Amino acid sequence: MNMSGDNTRDPQTCAIIGAAIEVHRVLGCGFLEAVYQEALAKEFLRLGIPFRREVELPILYKGDRLDVTYKADFVCYEEVVVELKALDKLSGKEKAQLINQLS
């Protein structure tokens, strides 16, 4: 993402982040993840951001597809995975999960 404030390089990601910031601005801290997920879906709709919710994504192991899947909170614009975390801070466990989800 272009951190200079110019969102012309990645307007989709900028819109998603803006929606998440708006949800946090309105709701603040302290709710369960499900509350933020519902609010973010409403914000995506309000902004016209295309999304799918609770999307099952395949997991590959050495080229073989596993029977289990990963369920993403949202997939926006058919290519951006959005994973919500309702935590005070990310621990090593959450960071490792996010890195695995991106691989």
pLDDT in tens, 10-65: 999 999 999 999 999 999 999 999 999 999 999 999 999 999 999 999 989 999 99
Model confidence at 3, pLDDT cuts 50, 70, 90, reads very low
| Sign of the four-CA dihedral 26, 51, 98, 68 | positive
Model confidence at 8, pLDDT cuts 50, 70, 90, reads low
Q: 82 is in which domain, residue-wise? A: 11-102
Tell whether 2 is covered by a domain.
no
Q: Amino acid letter at 100?
A: N
Q: What is the pLDDT, as a whole number, of residue 48?
A: 98
Query: Are 72 and 55 in contact, with CB atoms under 8 Å apart?
Result: yes
Q: What is the pLDDT, as a whole number, of residue 101?
A: 66
* Domain total in the chain: 1
Tell whether 6 is covered by a domain.
no
Q: What is the pLDDT, as a whole number, of residue 2?
A: 43
Q: Phi, psi at residue 75, to the nearest 5°?
A: -125, 120
